[in-house]
Chain A
Amino acid sequence: MTPLQKRVPRLVDGIDLRALPIGPAEAFVLSRVDGLTTELEIAEAAGLEESAVSSTLTALTRLGAVHFDPPRLGESMRAPRPAPTVSLPLRLGPIIESSGEAEPHHPAAALYELQELDEAVDLSVERKRVILEAFHHLDSLSHYQLLKVDPRADKKAIKNAYYEVVNVFHPDRYFGKNLGSFKPKLERVFARLTEAYDAITRAGPRAEYDAYLASLDKTRELDPSHAAAAVQARVQAIQRQIEDEARAAEQASLAPGPRRNSPAPGSLVPGPISGWEPRVPSLDPEARKRALARKLGGRHVSGAAPARSSIAPTVPPPPISVDARERAGDGLKRRYEQRITRAREQRAERYLLDARVSLSNKDPLSAVNGLRIATSLVPDNAEISARLQEAQTEATVLLADHYLAQAQYEEREGRLADAARSYGRATLGSPHARTFERAAYCTMMAQGDLRIAGDYARKAVALVGQASLSRDPSCDEAQARVTLARIYVAAGMKQSGLAEFERAATLAPKDDTIRDWIRRLKRGEA
């Protein structure tokens, strides 16, 4: 694979595109250049090979049509996002992309109750807001986000950042003032900031934490809630592109002439598409889906198949009529919508094909991302959904080691609910008794769903029981049975619990704890 490029190409001001000695391929790439989209995004959105996009852009640079310099002041920008000169590949994880933005976290629907702001204390409303904002985000931010530093920041930068936030959150700043409930909040925030600072300014703990973050980052791409925004952005970009093309095609068909009617991409600055939602294709969606599924599902379809010809038009050409202008208008609209629907299906197909290639290449993560976009483009498609499921499962298996490492880190840090989730995921790729037992235990201790905990525990017992299969000596059967028994008891199933404890007791007859449990259950005390 070519290295991921994150350069942002921009059109050279005042260039006459029609005078360039280029072909349709270059023109297509050029039409995607809007001064905001990166090379990588262009490649992904257009469904082209990155290397192809990259070399085309290089050629266009040589022709003087495109440059990669950062924007000058005053240049029109669609969004206030500063184009980073060095930036990371698309991250869906916790690393802040928007380091230049003032507020990485918006209260959106504020996490705190508004009346918390009304407490009569010697603090300005603004200060109260800042404190509440920080307090309620303590558990959701990474150490780096908390201190507002780049994950690659050196010790000195971290130190300075810490000193700065400490000046806001150290309770001594407000000595002698009536702080009410804000005092413990400040203390909590300060303690958490210091914990973060201590963790990432010491080499050992920082390496450990970075490994945890990196692992999280990797697995987070699988987390639908974290991927949603990125997928939606990509889908919106595609939709925009599709609409442009459909419009252009419409105009071309209405006014056929020598002049190629391509939208001038640099100047066409539509506002962010708001309220866009996946639209149901207007014409016989079921039939269309069936047709698409037929086409897509066939293993014989080659990856290079030309998309346009693969879908037969299901709508006959509109009858020519001299009178009804309205009907002509309707027809126009219909044709436009058809074009869009077709285009969406074509993209989805393209993503699906890519995903299958990725899956066969043992790269389920890429497949997951592509398929998520595909499902957004064409919802309710059984083939895509199935493939997405498959890719997700495979990715989870692939990432089992990461989940396991995360789970252990989280368990060590006392974050049992997180650990339960991570162990649960790890079981998919690391189906060992120990993993199941820990998943069960953490789920129970974190007061999670006891049915799920029970399933894990039973699985652990089953696995550990198959002595020949168990290559996992760190979990003995008694331990697995005790966990299962405790889960039964916690769920109110005392008889099952007792039975399980008794089985554990035969395995470990000397264990006092097990004996005590049994005695207690028999006396009906537990």
Chain B
Amino acid sequence: MERVIGIDLGTTNSCVAILEGDTPVVIPNRGGYKTTPSVVAVTEAGKRLVGHIAKRQAITNAENTVYAAKRLIGRKWNSPQVKNAIMTSSYTIVEGPHADVRIKLRDKTFSVPEVSSMVLQEMKIVAEDYLGEPVKKAVVTVPAYFNDNQRQATKDAGAIAGLDVIRIINEPTAASLAYGYGKDMDRTVAVYDLGGGTFDVSILEIGAHGVFKVISTTGDTFLGGEDFDARIIDWLVTGFQDDHGIDLRQDRMALQRLRDAAEKAKCELSGVRETEINLPFIISTGRNEALHLQRTLARPTLEKLTEDLVERTVDICKQALADAKLDVSEVEDVILVGGMTRMPAVQTAVTGYFGREPNKSVHPDEVVAMGAAIQGAALVQDRRDMILLDVTPHALGIMTFGSNFEELIPQNTTVPTSRTKVFTTSRDDQTAVKILVMQGESKRADENELLGEFILTGLRRAPKGHVEIEVTFEINTDGIVSVHAKDMENGQAQSIQVTATSGLTQDEIKNMMTNAQDYLVERRVDEHFEAAKQEAETLIAEIERLFPEIERVVGSADFGRDAIAKARTTVERTRSAIDSKDTGLVKEQVDQLSRTQRMFKGVVSRG
């Protein structure tokens, strides 16, 4: 049976899991870590790095290392979030051809889905190495509060990575699946998901027959661990400015070091009361004098710095319960997800608001990927013992006269669903009407996200308000929105499938897929070469270690001298094969080398 992997594509870390029998298993990467940093870099030599290795070289290659691409995915160039990211990122963000966002790494620009696809491809490889077979299908998670463009961009990233993303599911929902799967429970739970970049709260009912029904979901796509880090960075930068009159933000490398240090300090303060931040030679004064940064951060200071952020999460919890029309006392369990929930102040706030200790049975970093794996298996397996009823996180509607937003499908509607409303023309003798499909909660259309548009033509000529147009919105199980508009009098109709846009055209995606494939081939070739090279070098080292011995035993004999000369030639040839990166040649030499090595060993042992 075809296996489906579950991928939690996080802002800072990603994780992959698979269902083995009835148990979701998180797959460790080659380094043995269960999560992989969502970091992508391009080295000076043009080599692509993903994960831990990319993170490790970030300091020395800050301008070509992409962090938190998830914050940019599916966003438009002119959005305030992108403007903000341009200010704070160590890498260069440029405008793409469709008012989308591109990232410049060395001499190439990459779309955001492309960057995310590199992380997904890495996760795919991790799973393939573990399973020993190719993986084609995946369920990928996104923050519940992602809009359709962001979801589509994530799906495109999957496609570029060579994955068939059979379903996009919400992170808090996925967490609840891992929490309640196979436990036959009946309760109302809240999922508090404070991740690296986003915050989500979902209220769910878990009930008989393995039904998981989301009642409400809300969140903030720009509230997460990074904001906590930013507060620490701010504190450090301000202090440094006071002491030395130098703004560390102007130096990208210093900024990168500050970022790492802040994250590290924040994590440490979940365990200890205070921690020392020590960044020697953080910057040069220009008078050939290096300055060091050294400060002690105590937990109460951190809590003071981030108090309002924690407060905001509690407000969002209140909103989620209000949307669910539930009282806080009706919540029977609270699940904490995301690394940030390790922070004691966060746990205290959650306990205080919900009036109960949060559940500690799930691993905050792994639970989302596990849930994705469960959903993946539930969709393709014959034994279907779980069903997920999720909701639309945002209202869907159209723009009406005066740039107002008229909602058709309200927020938190269980999908699949469909709604119909009748609209009229706004001008005399209007023969065409443009239907702008939008998503969001604002009454003002321009504050919402545009998902797509189409034009209904052939309306009969009539004074304004006289032509009635029936508009039907439909969201199917796969989250695809279809919109149908009909002139009620003459039956003239038009409909579209709203394909939310990631900012990429189909052709672009196809190209990127090919590039990703090429990269994969290149990478495989590299791996084979590396393996052969390693083997050859081990053998060479062994042989060279034996040379003096051999010399001593058989160096006086002709055949001995011949053998030694031959061996030396083989070693030379191997070295040049390695230098020319010729995997085939290296492999041939390896055979030769191992024969030599065996012979040498035999001689030494006899002698």
Residues of A in contact with B (beta carbons under 8 Å apart): 159-160, 163-164, 166-167, 170-173, 175-176, 183-184, 187-188, 190-191, 194, 198, 202, 414, 512-513, 516-517, 519-520, 525-526
Contact = CB atoms under 8 A, between A and B. Distances in A.
Nearest to A165: B209
A160 B462 contact: no
Given A516-B463, A520-B462, A520-B463, A187 B208 contact: no
Contacts of A160: 207-208
Contact of B387 (A173, A187, A525): A173
Given A160-B207, A167-B209, A520-B462, A414 B420 contact: yes
Contact of A163 (B209, B325, B388, B418): B209
A512 B416 contact: no
B205 A159 contact: yes
Contact of B379 (A167, A176, A190, A520): A176
Contacts of B205: 159
A194 B414 contact: yes
B377 to A, nearest CB: 11
Given A159-B207, A172-B387, 11 more contacts: A159-B205, A163-B213, A171-B476, A172-B384, A173-B384, A175-B379, A187-B477, A191-B418, A202-B325, A516-B465, A525-B462
A396 B378 CA distance: 54
A187 B482 CA distance: 13
Contact of A176 (B207, B380, B476): B380
Interface in B312-343: 325
A187 B416 contact: yes
B463 A512 contact: yes
Nearest to B474: A187
B428 interface: yes
A164 B208 contact: yes
Nearest to A202: B325
A170 B384 CA distance: 12
A244 to B, nearest CB: 50
Interface in B347-396: 378-380, 384, 387-389
B598 interface: no
Contacts of A188: 418
A307 B127 CA distance: 91
A516 B428 contact: yes
Interface in B36-88: none
B461 interface: yes
A170 B389 contact: yes
17 contacts: A163-B211, A163-B213, A164-B208, A166-B211, A167-B210, A167-B211, A170-B387, A172-B379, A175-B166, A187-B476, A194-B414, A194-B417, A513-B465, A513-B466, A516-B464, A516-B465, A525-B461
Contacts of B207: 159-160, 163
Contacts of A173: 384, 387
Contacts of B428: 516
Contacts of B380: 175-176
Given A191-B417, A194-B414, A519 B463 contact: yes
Interface residues of B, number: 31
Q: Which 10 A-B pairs have the closest CB atoms?
A: A516-B463, A187-B416, A163-B211, A175-B379, A171-B477, A163-B209, A194-B414, A191-B417, A163-B207, A167-B209
A122 B334 CA distance: 40
Contacts of B388: 172
Given A167-B387, A173-B384, A191 B416 contact: yes
Interface in B404-450: 414, 416-418, 420, 428
Nearest to B205: A159
Q: Is the contact region of chain B dominated by helix, strand, or loop, or is it mixed?
A: mixed
A184 B475 CA distance: 11
Contacts of A190: 416
Nearest to B325: A202
B209 A513 contact: no
Given A172-B477, A173-B387, A191-B418, A163 B208 contact: yes
Interface in B458-484: 461-466, 474, 476-477
B466 A516 contact: yes
Contacts of B420: 414
Contacts of A520: 462-463, 466
Nearest to B418: A191
A328 B477 CA distance: 77
A164 B207 CA distance: 10
A114 B489 CA distance: 33
Contacts of A166: 209, 211, 387, 389
Contacts of B414: 191, 194, 198
A192 B416 CA distance: 10
Contacts of B211: 163, 166-167
B470 to A, nearest CB: 10
A479 to B, nearest CB: 15
Contacts of A159: 205, 207
Contacts of A167: 209-211, 387
Contacts of B466: 513, 516-517, 520
B167 to A, nearest CB: 8
A207 to B, nearest CB: 14
Contacts of A525: 461-462
Contacts of B465: 512-513, 516
A172 B379 CA distance: 7
Q: Which of B378, B462, B477 gathers most chain A CB within 10 Å?
A: B477
B472 to A, nearest CB: 12
A37 B380 CA distance: 53
A525 B461 CA distance: 8
Nearest to A515: B463
A336 to B, nearest CB: 59
A463 to B, nearest CB: 27
Nearest to A173: B384
B463 A517 contact: yes
B321 to A, nearest CB: 14
Contacts of B384: 172-173
Given A516-B463, A517-B463, A519-B463, A171 B208 contact: no
A184 B472 CA distance: 14
A519 B207 CA distance: 61
Contacts of B213: 163
Nearest to B379: A175
B157 to A, nearest CB: 22
Nearest to B386: A172
Q: Which of B208, B378, B380, B416 gathers most chain A CB within 10 Å?
A: B416
Contacts of B208: 160, 163-164
A520 B210 CA distance: 60
Nearest to A490: B489
Contacts of A175: 166, 379-380
Contacts of B389: 166, 170, 194
A513 B477 contact: no
A171 B428 CA distance: 44
A516 B463 CA distance: 6
Contacts of B210: 167
A313 to B, nearest CB: 67
Q: Which of B207, B210, B325, B463 gathers most chain A CB within 10 Å?
A: B463
Nearest to B212: A163
B555 to A, nearest CB: 71
Contacts of A526: 462
B489 to A, nearest CB: 10
A326 to B, nearest CB: 70
A170 B477 CA distance: 9
Nearest to A184: B476
Contacts of A516: 428, 462-466
B506 to A, nearest CB: 24
A176 B380 CA distance: 7
Given A170-B389, A172-B387, A202-B325, A164 B461 contact: no
Contact of B209 (A164, A172, A198): A164
